[in-house]
Structure 1
């Protein structure tokens, strides 16, 4: 049996990730076929495992080092410790003020320290692999970059986009990393990024796992006023656009992306929920409003399709398949971060 025939058989069987890992140890020939770039690419395009939820713990047991541990069902998937995070410390036992997780896209999770002097890392916890990306500087040597926000995308191979705020120009730079070149390059912004300010630039979580689009919540200058909007980046065409949020919201809402033109935005007032949801009419995104129920505060047994949405002072677990808010977690919830994950064979 040659490698092409074995590859076709394995792909036709549509085997889940864990089964492929077991088949890798059958013999060296099978391992080489499964580890080949062509097989990994085809398996990623044809097979999507059901999501699982992994726990991510940040530890700071050694001065000037940050340890990160990934677990699933109490089983250790991956643990790493690096002095790349030199100078970073935990804040009241939590690290998300300094290090944020981004993704997951195609089985990859991004580790994004907010400081621009610390490299972004990309990891595949199930393969136990982690890679630090090269540090970046602006093409303008006079720019002073002070903060960034990162998102992962996919187009044949993974890409990493970062928005960086420049103190000199008081505006945003956009850069894109490609694994093919192992380098960053500036993205043309078409004038959009010139009007965006530093405040509240946060990545938005999404149910779209193909990595074609990345989303941030931003503020834009409009006729002298600061207006909250959604910024989207088409990772394939490398084009930005902004999406207007509904009028009447408080500006402190949580947003979730259902697909390219479908969003849900949650306002929390007096422990009740106001939900804005979008519908697309051509290229125009229209918004409707509905009143939600009171948020439960008890932590239930988790479903297979939930994410945590960050809000001011607390987090909310949201089941995006059932379109239900599961529970509310207070700010002093110091347990491990929970990340939805679909295992793949893609290496960072």
Structure 2
């Protein structure tokens, strides 16, 4: 079926398909401005079909590629200050655009779970009234959305919550996984929680569904950091029976098939200290990093699902001076320079040399810093009824030319003081 028929509109002069191809090649910022060119353009740009097509086009071509940098800085007294910035691929970390994060989370108490296809999920560190309020944010269009409350699993003693975020390409839908880990009060050996209950939120329907967890799937998640690879969210964990001497595995939830699975690790990795092992993604491959005071090593799973394909890529020495942060920039790794507040460095994995100061603007000690290679810009959330945009000043700053849209936004946008 042609793009013209899918969108259900016509455009003058040029063929409909040619107009659509031109619009698909434009960055999000331009599309937001070009809505006011005509009603036809506005109809196309705001249609769900075009939004989906544009996201796919941006992801596959990497046109107008931007990169997301965010970090948590310790302000003292246990308070974390979150910072977010976007930069262009050809800027080489020299020019940054600071972003104001969503008004719903400006009071603090949130952590970033992951970004997926241009959206970022914020999960609460502290739950209000026993329930968790999750927030989706689209930095490209400065819109955010608070998800509806889950059906089950209010807060009670002996629980922990872990979240996952991904995309189901079969249904063209974003999904949020909420896992509840419960302490087995009858187990005297350990008070660590294991996975017991789970729910899945689907953006297209705006509803939560219960996910079946097998009775023998009694695993605990060692770290809430997730790695999104091959349509599945991955975590480092181990079985309840191994709590005294943890044997690490990779736990995963497949977003399309909506089921939990276990991926074994080779002996050299399964015996690592769970508290000193991080999971991540490098070049589209599942990665593990083991670190201590002396060094840090990164392993890659060269062939997905094949245990024997895990290969050590490199070992970084001098752990006393540098703290490795599990983020990669092309063939470079990001490091934090210890005893120097707010200093980030790029380390060349091929030459094993420090090559650049990231010039991070922070007066506090960086607790966590993440760089996302090729952050996909998308219009997703643009037409969501419950999504809100930045305050009126932010709308003007973004040069929205549709005064009707600005007036419409006044009644449901953030209350941040100007």
Shift of 1:55: 4.3
**2:9 matched to which residue of 1?**
3
**2:249 matched to which residue of 1?**
229
- 8 Å CA contact 1:40–1:346 kept in 2: the answer is yes
| 2:327 is the alignment partner of 1:318 | yes
- 8 Å CA contact 2:293–2:319 kept in 1: the answer is no
- In 2 relative to 1, CA 270–80 (structure 1 residues): closer, same or farther, beyond 3 Å? closer
| Structure with larger Rg | 2
SS across alignment from 1:25? helix
Give ranges in structure 1 of 5+ residues lacking alignment. Answer: 61-65, 90-97, 300-313
Shift of 1:183: 2.0
Shift of 1:45: 2.2
**1:217 matched to which residue of 2?**
236
**2:376 matched to which residue of 1?**
342
Alignment of 1:294-305 (within 5 A): 294=317
- In 2 relative to 1, CA 174–315 (structure 1 residues): closer, same or farther, beyond 3 Å? farther
> For 1:186 and 1:168, how far apart are their aligned partners in 2?
21
**2:136 matched to which residue of 1?**
122
- 8 Å CA contact 1:69–1:80 kept in 2: the answer is no
SS across alignment from 1:343? coil
> For 1:247 and 1:202, how far apart are their aligned partners in 2?
23
> For 1:167 and 1:223, how far apart are their aligned partners in 2?
15
| 2:124 is the alignment partner of 1:113 | yes
**1:268 matched to which residue of 2?**
291
**2:181 matched to which residue of 1?**
165
**1:256 matched to which residue of 2?**
280
The Cα offsets for residues 259-286 of structure 1, whole Å up to 9 and x where unpaired, read as 78x4222223454332322233875454
- The structure richer in strand per residue is 1
- The structure richer in helix per residue is 2
SS across alignment from 1:24? helix
**1:53 matched to which residue of 2?**
68
Shift of 1:217: 1.9
- In 2 relative to 1, CA 287–213 (structure 1 residues): closer, same or farther, beyond 3 Å? same
- In 2 relative to 1, CA 132–185 (structure 1 residues): closer, same or farther, beyond 3 Å? same
- In 2 relative to 1, CA 295–134 (structure 1 residues): closer, same or farther, beyond 3 Å? farther
Shift of 1:176: 0.4
Alignment of 1:174-193 (within 5 A): 174-191=198-215
> For 1:115 and 1:236, how far apart are their aligned partners in 2?
30
1:203 aligned to which of 215, 225, 229: 225
Give ranges in structure 2 of 5+ residues lacking alignment. Answer: 87-94, 186-192, 343-363, 382-386, 388-418
**2:161 matched to which residue of 1?**
148
- In 2 relative to 1, CA 298–15 (structure 1 residues): closer, same or farther, beyond 3 Å? farther
> What TM-score, normalized by structure 2, do the two folds share?
0.62
> For 1:259 and 1:343, how far apart are their aligned partners in 2?
19
Count of residues in correspondence between the two structures: 311
> For 2:294 and 2:155, how far apart are their aligned partners in 1?
47
- In 2 relative to 1, CA 19–152 (structure 1 residues): closer, same or farther, beyond 3 Å? same
- In 2 relative to 1, CA 171–319 (structure 1 residues): closer, same or farther, beyond 3 Å? closer
| 2:150 is the alignment partner of 1:136 | yes
**2:46 matched to which residue of 1?**
35
**2:411 matched to which residue of 1?**
none
Shift of 1:110: 0.5
Alignment of 1:278-317 (within 5 A): 278-280=301-303, 284=307, 286-289=309-312, 291-294=314-317, 314=323, 316=325
The Cα offsets for residues 163-199 of structure 1, whole Å up to 9 and x where unpaired, read as 112346753222100123322111113346x3112x5
- In 2 relative to 1, CA 258–80 (structure 1 residues): closer, same or farther, beyond 3 Å? closer
**1:328 matched to which residue of 2?**
336
Shift of 1:11: 4.1
> What TM-score, normalized by structure 1, do the two folds share?
0.73
Shift of 1:144: 5.6
- In 2 relative to 1, CA 33–253 (structure 1 residues): closer, same or farther, beyond 3 Å? same
Shift of 1:235: 0.3
Q: What is the Cα-based RMSD across aligned positions, in Å?
A: 3.9
